């Protein structure tokens, strides 16, 4: 069916419950990419996508309006469109309180994580990563024939900083996901600073990449961004993405923050035009709309608390979540739990070794979605208990 410019713009026009924001959010695509699931089946009517940690509401109104206006520049390279990639770098720098030369752009944070492995690890200098954690750096290392040392998380699902520091000697790169995906736990600012200081002293040539993909969802008062550490140390870099709280997973906007020399190295490995004109416009508008992120954090915090209580009422241990997903001890293999939920129209996260025999990751949707999912999950786990009502109806963030 041919699509005209008018019909495309109509589809993009922001609406409280329209399909356009879901399209931009690309909900469920992380799991699709990781497991090769059937995209048509994943988009079936009534299926709940609680498997890829996206914002269930998609981008805010400011981003959608900017996206619509930017269609006139679809024929321009992102360096020539208005706003341009230079404007996006400026917007990120302003948002994070750094200078533009401290910012590298990526096609989501995936590109940046993979580039970090290429830049710092080698056959002689291994990658250190948690087990489990986000897999992209490990996958990149394996593709390049680089050794990987996997450090199991502790009993509470937190990255074991003592064991990681020991494994870091002679390493090329440490991947430190904070909050950690999939365990959802976070380390406070003091612990992160002490860890970086120790590694810099004991293995000064080892680079540290601190991934803050879920930064905007953290409510722990002891947490703080590691951006100041990246500005202080030449081989510390922080990465972030607009795929999560900003609801723009389908637009592939990521960035790294570090000292200018480190950023220059990322830029040398970066894909030419790793942004597109429409995504740039939406990202600039979204970065200038902090109220949307505040509302999204509040929505997620309420839904997260509701879902945590639900699982605890079923007798399941839930790790302390500071993200937009939970890591739950279901007492059965993740694949078995996932398949049982999928047969009932609820998609939850994939297996994460070495905890895949007992734990599962469940992304946080809206409270209404989590209530619906709770009915299925209680049935799958054999609890058969009624799902409690939410304490209050969440207000929808500005769209």
pLDDT tens, residue by residue, 41-53: 455 668 999 999 9
Say if residues 289 and 97 touch (Cβ distance below 8 Å): no
Tens digit of each residue's pLDDT (9 = 90 or more) over 165-198 = 999 999 999 999 999 999 999 999 999 999 999 9
Q: Of 92, 174, 93, which Cα lies nearest the Cα of 127? A: 174
What is the CATH classification number for the domain harbouring 83?
Answer: 3.40.640.10
CATH number at residue 53: 3.90.1150.10
Region of 58 on the Ramachandran plot (φ > 0 left; ψ -120 to 50 alpha; else beta) = left
Taking residues 94-121, what's their average pLDDT? 96
CA distance 33 to 108: 14
Strands 236-241 and 253-257: antiparallel
Residues 87 and 188 grouped into a single domain: yes
The single residue listed with the structure tokens 């997973």 is 249
Q: What is the pLDDT of residue 271?
A: 84
Last residue of a domain, one of 264, 287, 310: 287
Judge whether 399 lies within some domain: no
Considering the domain architecture, whether residues 296 and 281 belong to the same structural domain is answered as no
Q: Domains in the chain: how many in total? A: 2
Residues 315 and 375 in one domain: yes
**Which residue has better confidence, 387 or 232?**
232
> Which of 266, 287, 308 is the last residue in one of the domains?
287
Residues 6+ positions from 24 with CB-CB distance below 8 Å: 58, 59, 63, 64, 67, 247, 248, 250, 251, 282
173 shares its domain with 221:
yes
**Which DSSP symbol is given to 90?**
H
Which tokens sit at 236?
A: 């510390």
| Same structural domain, 11 and 133 | no
User: Quick one: average pLDDT of 298-316?
Assistant: 97
354: cis peptide before it, omega within 30°? Answer: yes
| Domain with 253 in it | 72-287
Q: What pLDDT score was predicted for residue 274?
A: 86
Burial class of residue 36, CB neighbours in 10 A (0-12, 13-18, 19+): exposed
pTM of the model: 0.88
Give the count of beta carbons closer than 10 Å to the beta carbon of residue 238.
26
């Amino acid at each position: 069916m041919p699509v005209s410019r008018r019909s495309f713009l109509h589809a993009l026009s922001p609406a409280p419950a329209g399909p356009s924001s879901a399209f931009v959010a690309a909900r469920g695509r992380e799991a699709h990419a990781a497991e090769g699931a059937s995209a048509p089946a994943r988009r079936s009517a009534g299926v709940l996508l609680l498997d890829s940690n996206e914002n269930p509401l998609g981008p805010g109104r400011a981003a959608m309006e900017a996206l619509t206006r930017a269609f006139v520049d679809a024929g321009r390279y992102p360096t020539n469109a208005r706003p341009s990639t230079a404007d996006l770098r400026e917007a990120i720098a302003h948002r994070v309180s750094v200078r533009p030369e401290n910012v590298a752009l990526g096609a989501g944070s995936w590109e940046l994580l993979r580039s970090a492995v290429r830049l710092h690890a080698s056959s002689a200098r291994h990658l250190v990563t948690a087990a489990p954690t986000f897999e992209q750096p490990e996958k990149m290392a394996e593709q390049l024939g680089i050794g990987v040392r996997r450090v199991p998380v502790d009993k509470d699902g937190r990255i074991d900083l003592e064991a990681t520091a020991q494994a870091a000697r002679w390493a090329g790169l440490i991947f430190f996901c904070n909050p950690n995906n999939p365990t959802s736990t976070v380390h406070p600012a003091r612990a992160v600073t002490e860890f970086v200081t120790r590694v810099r002293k004991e293995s000064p040539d080892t680079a540290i990449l601190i991934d803050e993909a879920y930064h905007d969802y953290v409510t722990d008062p002891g947490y703080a961004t590691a951006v100041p550490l990246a500005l202080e140390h030449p081989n510390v870099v922080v990465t972030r993405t607009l795929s999560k709280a900003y609801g723009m997973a389908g637009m592939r906007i990521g960035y790294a923050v570090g000292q200018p020399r480190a950023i220059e190295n990322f830029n040398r490995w970066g894909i030419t035009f790793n942004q597109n004109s429409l995504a740039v416009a939406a990202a600039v508008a979204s970065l200038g709309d902090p109220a949307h992120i505040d509302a999204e954090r509040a929505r997620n915090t309420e839904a997260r608390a509701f879902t945590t209580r639900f699982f605890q009422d079923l007798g399941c241990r839930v790790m302390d979540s500071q993200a937009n997903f939970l890591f739950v001890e279901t007492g059965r293999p993740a694949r078995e739990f996932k398949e049982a939920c999928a047969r009932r129209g609820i998609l939850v996260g994939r297996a994460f070794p070495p905890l895949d025999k007992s734990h599962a990751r469940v992304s946080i949707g809206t409270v209404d979605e989590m209530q619906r999912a709770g009915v299925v999950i209680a049935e799958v786990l054999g609890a058969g208990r009624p799902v409690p009502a939410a304490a209050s109806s969440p207000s929808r963030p500005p769209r």
